[in-house]
Amino acid sequence: MNPPSASSTDVLLIGSGAAGLSCALRLAQAGIAVTLVSKGALSSGSTLWAQGGISAVLDAGDSVESHVHDTLVAGAGLCDERAVRHAVERGPDCVRWLIGQGVEFTRDEDDPVGNGLHLTREGGHSHRRVVHAADATGRAVETTLSGLAATHPRIRVLEDRLAVDLIVDRAANRVVGAYLLDVHHGGVQALAARAVVLATGGANQVYLYSSNPHGASGDGIAMAWRAGCRIANMEFMQFHPTCLYHPEARNFLISEALRGEGAVLRLPDGDGRPGERFMPRFDERGELAPRDVVARAIDYEMKRLGLKHVLLDITHKPAEFIRSHFPSIHARCLELGIDITREPIPVVPSAHFTCGGVLTDLAARTDVDGLYAIGEVACTGLHGANRLASNSLLECLVFAEAAANDLIETLPGRPPPGPLAAWDESRVRDSDEDVVVAHNWLELRTFMWDYVGIVRTTKRLERALHRIELLKQEIQDYYGNYRISADLIELRNLVTVADLIVRSAMSRRESRGLHYTLDYPNLLPEARPTVLPGRG
């Protein structure tokens, strides 16, 4: 097929994390022309910050059944077992594919398990099955794949472009392209495509405190919902228990792998030194309990005692072990004046992962013909009500491959990209009140943190929904009358996903997995997904 042109392409792939990059490379290696759109620099996706690793059955003592079981348990009864098996069975091959692309994982040549790969264990896993590149797996994956994508002749990379909306042929219920905003220079381009793949990541910037980079603003979820796709399980927002508490590093994650290697959570004593270990009071698995359990325990202790943070302590391990296993975390903390070999790390929970998203099948297809969703933007059924640690990169890789395989098979039968209507700016003007966007952004993220966070109530959700309705009206008026900017588009998308999160949470009258409400603390007898119909 022909290389992508300025105004059209075979496949438009929006997002440059592990999901987008691996899908683009698989398509390009099969001879398909791809235009890969990145909101910022090519290697700036959330994958870059993933510290943990990729869960895969690589140890002879491990099994597919064990990995499936651990995932189902973490998902609190809401996983789709077909999707879980689909992902788990394909995990080892995806890891081998990454190795074939040049990703260098941490090796353990003295240990035969994992074919010479060093495997670690994280919360919720019953075996060591997390393949990693020290404590910076995402960086190893992202930099390797982005380097390959940047030089592949079948991949055209558009950096610093923000997708504004999908372009859909409503009569045929088929996606035909997307509008893209040039982030730095303004102007909106209509790009036609035979198929579109959303790999835009999650929506965790809807909260005031997040471990994610700035761009995790729910763009793909909001665009897919406006295009008519069903959105599922948005009430299940995962809060990572241990984000560094420091004024100069508000989104620096302290990997779950520390707890996997023996780090314990303690309350600070009166002098700020490590005191009581508290997790055994909440769960017999202690620090290796699922993330929702650990995050709620920390949240409870902080509120009970009026703490700003708790402490994560790994000082009982040898200093060389800590430096060799967690070089990035050790170096970053040392820059901030914290020597984790000698003192505990101050940590707080933060919004980390969107378990719900655009509803897809096992081939990553959505409700709109020609539109695919892969990675954190999608709800595949793998995560259920809570994500098992290191299943996120697994999902990115497995469903990127699934989408690529389906496109390789079906693309020849799809109509070629046709001309699209240009973006109309004839009736808008430049804004002289950008402060409105900044104020609304802060207001949204603050009340979402206060009312729709780790612990919820019906009254809090109602208050959040009331404020969302006011913001939606204000933002839509702004969107219709002024030239758009990247901040406005992200705010518009964040308000949309906030609305989806709150409406989903209000419809679930139980506490399950990541959704915990004081008004309905018990489980219902049957686990059912929350599915919202698309607006289109």
Q: Indicate the DSSP class of residue 517.
A: B
17-33 pLDDT, tens digit per residue, is 999 999 999 999 999 99
Decide if 271 is inside a domain: yes
Q: Which of 139, 291, 460, 467 is catalytic?
A: 291
The domain that contains 320 carries what CATH number? Answer: 3.90.700.10
Q: Answer yes or no: do 244 and 347 share one domain.
A: yes
Total domains in the fold of the chain: 2
Active site residue 291: yes
Q: Answer yes or no: do 348 and 448 share one domain.
A: no
The two structure tokens encoding residue 50: 């993933």
Average pLDDT over residues 144-155: 95
Decide if 277 is inside a domain: yes
The domain that contains 455 carries what CATH number? Answer: 1.20.58.100
Question: Could you write out the DSSP letters of every residue in 96-156?
Answer: HHHHHHT--PPB-TT--GGGGB-EE--TT-SS--EE-STT-HHHHHHHHHHHHHHH-TTEE
Q: Answer yes or no: do 346 and 243 share one domain.
A: yes
CA gap 184, 485 in Å, rounded = 9
Nearest by Cα to 202 from 501, 469, 515? 501
Amino acid letter for position 461: L
306-325 pLDDT, tens digit per residue, is 898 999 999 999 999 999 99
169: exposed, middle or buried (Cβ count in 10 Å: 0-12, 13-18, 19+): middle
- What is the reported pLDDT for 433? 63
Residue 277 β-bridge partners = 266
User: Is 33 in contact with 4 (CB distance < 8 Å)?
Assistant: yes
Decide if 150 is inside a domain: no
CA gap 190, 177 in Å, rounded = 7
Which H or E run contains 244?
strand 237-244
Average pLDDT over residues 334-351: 95
- What is the reported pLDDT for 509? 97
Residue 366 has pLDDT above 90, yes or no: yes
Decide if 10 is inside a domain: no
Nearest by Cα to 459 from 389, 397, 520, 372? 520
Residue 230 has pLDDT above 60, yes or no: yes
User: Is 214 in contact with 486 (CB distance < 8 Å)?
Assistant: no
CA gap 410, 371 in Å, rounded = 12
Q: Which of 352, 375, 393 is the last residue of a domain?
A: 352
What is the torsion angle, in degrees rounded to the nearest 10, for the CA atoms of residue 83, residue 85, residue 91 and residue 92?
Answer: -160
170-211 pLDDT, tens digit per residue, is 999 999 999 999 999 889 999 999 999 999 999 999 998 888
Q: Indicate the DSSP class of residue 483.
A: -
405-442 pLDDT, tens digit per residue, is 999 999 999 999 988 988 887 667 676 667 778 889 89
Decide if 289 is inside a domain: yes
What contacts 242, CB < 8 A, 6 or more positions away?
Answer: 253, 254, 256, 258, 259, 265, 312, 345, 347, 348, 349
The two structure tokens encoding residue 88: 């788990």
Residue 182 β-bridge partners = 161
Higher pLDDT: 14 or 132? It is: 14
- What is the reported pLDDT for 110? 64
User: Is 440 in contact with 475 (CB distance < 8 Å)?
Assistant: yes
Decide if 331 is inside a domain: yes
Residue 533 has pLDDT above 60, yes or no: yes
Nearest by Cα to 448 from 354, 358, 521? 354
Please state which of the ranges 45-49, 135-139, 374-378 shows the lowest mean pLDDT: 45-49
Q: Which of 303, 335, 352 is the last residue of a domain?
A: 352
pLDDT band of residue 290 (cuts 50, 70, 90) is confident
Q: Which of 336, 352, 368 is the last residue of a domain?
A: 352
The two structure tokens encoding residue 233: 């399980």
Higher pLDDT: 357 or 125? It is: 357
Hunting for tokens 């609304």 — which residue is that?
440
Residue 220 has pLDDT above 80, yes or no: yes
Hunting for tokens 């202790």 — which residue is that?
301
Average pLDDT over residues 115-123: 83
pLDDT band of residue 48 (cuts 50, 70, 90) is low
What contacts 526, CB < 8 A, 6 or more positions away?
Answer: none
Decide if 338 is inside a domain: yes
Domain around 331: 239-352
Nearest by Cα to 325 from 106, 131, 56? 106
**From the CA atom positions of the chain, what is the Rg in Å?**
22
CA gap 308, 95 in Å, rounded = 39
Decide if 346 is inside a domain: yes
Dihedral (CA of 46, 52, 57, 63) sign: negative
